[in-house]
Amino acid sequence: MLKELRPALVLTAALTIITGLAYPLAVTGVAQAVFPRQANGSLIERNGVVVGSALIGQAVTGPGYFQPRPSATTAADPADATKTVAAPYNASNSMGSNLGPTAKALVERVQADVERLKAENPGVPVPVELVTASASGLDPDLSPAAADFQIPRVAKARGMSEEALRRLVAATTAPRALGFLGEPTVNVLALNLALDQLALDKTAAGR
C-alpha cells in the first residue's frame, strides 16, 4: 500500500503543478498578450468610463432605451444577508428562473409582463423572448422581433422616427454565426450606445 501511495502523492502534486498552475498561467500569458480585449472581459468604454461588457447584458429601464429580456438574477438582501432579493443583470451571480413550464409563478410573471408590453404596443403579439427570463440572466441580446417590438416606445420617448430606429436595429442585427449556427441577434448595449451616439450627432448638427 505504501509503495502505491508514493506515485499517488507525487503524481497528484506534479500534475497539479502542470494542469493547475502551468497550464492556466500559460493560457493567461498568451491570452493577455494576443487577445487583451477579450481576455479582460470585452469591456466597452465611453469617454474613458467603462459602461459595460459587449458580452454581458445590463439592466435598463428608461423608455428611451431598448430594454433587455427579463433576468432572474438575485443579490444578497442588504438588510438581511441570509436572504436574497431580485437584482436583474447581476453580473456576479448568473442564474435563470428555473421555473418549470407548469409553474404558477412563471405564468403569473409572464402575464404581468405581457400586460405591460401590450399597453405599450397594442395589437401586436408579444415576442416570447421579451417575457421569458434567459438562462444566464445576463443575455446581452434580443431577437430582431423583440427589438422591433420596442421601436414605437423608443421612438416616442426620443422623438425620433420609427423608420430611423428600424434602420438602426437592422444595422445592429448580427446574422447567424457562419450563416447557420444559433439565431440572429441584436446586442442591446451596442444598440443603445448607437442610439445615444445618434442623439448626440443630432444635437451637434442642430447647433
Region 6-45 residues binding another protein, contact defined as CB under 8 A: 6-12, 14-16, 18-21, 23-24, 26-28, 30-32, 34-35, 38-43
Of 189, 183, 160, 176, residue with least CA distance to 68:
189
* Residues contacting 83, CB < 8 A, separation 6+: 76, 77
Question: With contacts defined by CB under 8 A, how many residues of the chain interact with another protein?
Answer: 104
Residue of 83, 116, 118, 167 interacting with another protein (CB under 8 A): 118
Q: Closer to another protein at the Cβ: 96 or 152? A: 96
Q: Provide the minimum distance between the beta carbon of 156 and another protein in the complex, in angstroms, as a whole number.
A: 18
Instruction: Please give the grid coordinates belonging to residue 106.
Output: 412563471
| Residues 100, 85: Cα–Cα separation, whole Å | 20
Does 131 contact another protein by CB under 8 A?
A: yes
Alpha-carbon distances of 176 from 127, 144, 184, 185, rounded to whole Å: 19, 12, 5, 8
Does 133 contact another protein by CB under 8 A?
A: yes
Residue of 83, 86, 111, 162 interacting with another protein (CB under 8 A): 111
Neighbours of 76 (CB within 10 A): 14
* Residues contacting 42, CB < 8 A, separation 6+: 53, 54, 55
Q: Closer to another protein at the Cβ: 3 or 207? A: 3
| DSSP code at position 157 | H
The mark string for 155-174 relative to another protein (x by CB under 8 A, - otherwise) is --------------------
Stretch that binds another protein, among 92-100, 150-158, 163-171, 198-206 (CB under 8 A): 92-100
